[in-house]
Structure 1
Amino acid sequence: MLILKLGKEEIQRNQEIVKEHLSQVVPSLSQAVLSLSQACPKLNQYTTDVIAEFIYALREKPQSILRLMEILGETNRTRFRNKILLPLMENGYIEPTIKEVPNSPKQLYRLCKKL
Structure 2
Amino acid sequence: MIDYFKKKEDLIVSKSIKHLHLSIDIDCWDLLVAPGTGVPESKGLSIHEFNKIIQILIKTGCIAAIDLVELNRILDKNNATLLIFEKLITKIINGVLFNSDIKK
| Higher strand residue share | 2
The two structures have a TM-score, normalised by structure 2, of 0.31
| Higher helix residue share | 1
Q: Which is bigger in relative contact order (C-alpha 8 A, separation at least 6)?
A: 2
Larger radius of gyration: 1
